[in-house]
Structure 1
């Protein structure tokens, strides 16, 4: 009889503990304005841990010419689409850490289209629009309305001229607008 009481107590305790863990989910809609490099972001949550992230912004780029032995830094408009999977929302919530407005780490598949640069030293560089496809690891944190984000990962850059390895790195400071 003691075994039955023990089992009942064990299962009741497990049930109460399971009720304490509230499922955490990504924000359904989130709009941001990037401040560091001007741009707009819309992130749409379509399941508990997955979002589609869309961004139109100005970014900083770097290129190097083996032929001339020179490098170039430029500013160009970008359009980015990312499929993001936030993998540690529940773990952060269980530790009492912030998860609001998708404050978590993520893995992403990204595709970025880069338009012709607006500035840069064009004397030794010929620019063609390009597309970059990459796998990223990133983190996003939002404190009130202030948002910061970092991501990086390996990828491939395609243009009419060449296909090459790329390692996109992105850091943004921004402001969440709306609810």
Structure 2
């Protein structure tokens, strides 16, 4: 009977140690993600300190345009690169409350920069989508749930620059995907 209690005690200690290692209050050193819903793409997030990461994403943006003159509509697809310097500011608070912090589950502020390439699908009745750069400060959160399902949202306001214009831009990025790897 004493062996069973000793075995149970060791098992509980091992499980708590494994969970404590998973739920740390620092960001993951290397994290890969596939965004399969909404904006399909690939993400690599590199943690270079306990709270800071460089988030790099390659994806396809989707847009829709309607031309009243020709009374026609078209969809367009734009390859894009998104870079963010993220600072996760509430990891300790989440860990203290027993909330999940694994896979960079936390709130962040970031410097956001994206480059939208020329559209890979065009319609001659519409103006071609020209390449542009957007830079903005953003606030966001990322949550990774059991099964490594990932939700990422960031919002902000900044500047969009293309060959014709420099204009104010609202930023709203929402992605659903899965963390791959460990």
Same fold? TM cut 0.5: yes
Match in the other structure for 2:83: 81
Match in the other structure for 2:160: 157
Query: Structure 1: which 5+ runs fail to align?
Result: 1-21
Structure 1 window deviating more from structure 2 (126-135 vs 79-88): it is 126-135
SS at the partner of 1:161? coil
Structure 1 window deviating more from structure 2 (72-81 vs 127-136): it is 72-81
Write the deviation string for residues 4-47 of structure 1: whole angstroms up to 9, x where unpaired: xxxxxxxxxxxxxxxxxx97100000000110122110000001
CA positional deviation for 1:63: 7.0
- In the superposition, the TM-score normalised over structure 2's length comes to 0.77
Query: Structure 2: which 5+ runs fail to align?
Result: 1-22
1:114 to 110, 113, 116: 116
SS at the partner of 2:94? helix
1:130 to 115, 132, 144: 132
- The residue correspondences of 1:50-89 to structure 2 (distance < 5 A) are 50-61=52-63, 74-89=76-91
Structure 1 window deviating more from structure 2 (54-63 vs 102-111): it is 54-63
CA positional deviation for 1:168: 1.7
* CA root-mean-square deviation: 2.6
- In the superposition, the TM-score normalised over structure 1's length comes to 0.79
Match in the other structure for 2:149: 146
1:98 to 97, 100, 119: 100
Q: 2:24–2:102: 8 Å Cα contact kept in structure 1?
A: no
CA positional deviation for 1:117: 1.6
What is the aligned residue count?
158
Rounded to whole Å, the distance in 1 between the matches of 2:127 and 2:144 is 38
Match in the other structure for 2:7: none
CA positional deviation for 1:75: 2.3
